[in-house]
A = this chain, B = another copy of it.
Amino acid sequence: MSARREASNWGRWGPDDERGTLNLLTADAVLGGVAAIRSGKVYGLGLPINATAAPIVEGRGEPRRLTLTCDSDDERYEAYGAAVGVGANQDILVLASHHGTHLDALSHVFADRTMYNGFPSSTFKAFSGAGRLGVEKLGVFAGRAVLLDVAAAAGVECLPPGHVITRAELESCATAEGVDVREGDILLIRTGWLEQWQRSAGGVSGPGGAGQPGIGLDACGFIRDHDIAAVGADNSAVEAIPFDKDTFLSVHIELLVTLGVPLLEHLSLAELARDRRYEVLLCVAPLPVTGAGGSPVNPIAIA
């Protein structure tokens, strides 16, 4: 554990901190993101939520929208005094908090049965969920985001399956794009994988799925050294699959557990990339579900 603590952010914001590097998103950092706005164009980075629009990761199941009320419920509404033909359509949603485009809370992953800042994994209970580091502790956040279109920089539609993106690739991509990466930035990494998945038959993804390009441990050094506030990517796990160093969830452990960096996965970055918007204000609004290990999100980029 000592090795982890030395190079980690544990204790950096106090022993009770549950927000990790989101602490870097000060009002000044937010204003830095606001300053990046040029055109007022708004981008939604979330995939549609239905049975086919996003990879179904093993065990998480298909998201479901079920009808709660519709115009067959006229009698119910008439009992409330509604005029004939007046009523409401309502739904019930059943979905994994990590389905589709989502935010990994700092309680999402543990190593040595320990989560970020030293909280034991046992603080996540079956009934009540995360007693520590739940997604509700992160709250909404906003800041300057930098899109590193690594696929475009490499001149490919999609990086090869299993390709491990390095620190050098991130740096040369930033240089090619002419953007600087600053402390407290949110990093968005485009591998091209999601668009390739969309062009293909779709289907199942995740730990047991086929290979995906993504970052490795070397790139985590870039994230640590730049004091990145959050990292997102257009793949299933931000990190490469198979995992770097053949270590299960190696990058998740480094970012979520050691550094306290929340992750955004399955981001839809195609339109931002097409418009070459490399600096944006990014607004992320997880559902504040008490005790959840993550939340579906639909991040907003304003360019």
State the A residues within 8 Å of B (CB): 25-31, 34, 37, 39-44, 46-50, 53, 59-73, 75-77, 80-83, 85-98, 107-114, 121-122, 124-130, 136, 139-142, 207-208, 246-249, 252-253, 281, 283, 285-294, 296-300, 302
CB closest chain-B residue, reference A49: B289
Name the 3 nearest CB pairs between A and B, nearest first.
A27-B40, A30-B40, A44-B140
B97 touches A91 (CB 8 A): yes
Residues of B within 8 A of A75 (CB): 125
Number of copies: 4
Bound form: Cα–Cα A247–B77 in Å: 12
B72 touches A122 (CB 8 A): yes
Residues of B within 8 A of A108 (CB): 88-90
The answer, among B27, B49, B80, B283, for a CB contact under 8 Å with A290, is B49
Choose among A81, A142, A249, A283 the residue with the greatest number of B CB atoms under 10 Å from its CB: A283
Bound form: Cα–Cα A114–B71 in Å: 10
B287 touches A298 (CB 8 A): yes
B293 touches A287 (CB 8 A): no
B286 touches A298 (CB 8 A): yes
Residues of B within 8 A of A63 (CB): 289
Bound form: Cα–Cα A247–B83 in Å: 8
Residues of B within 8 A of A71 (CB): 72, 110, 113, 121-122, 124
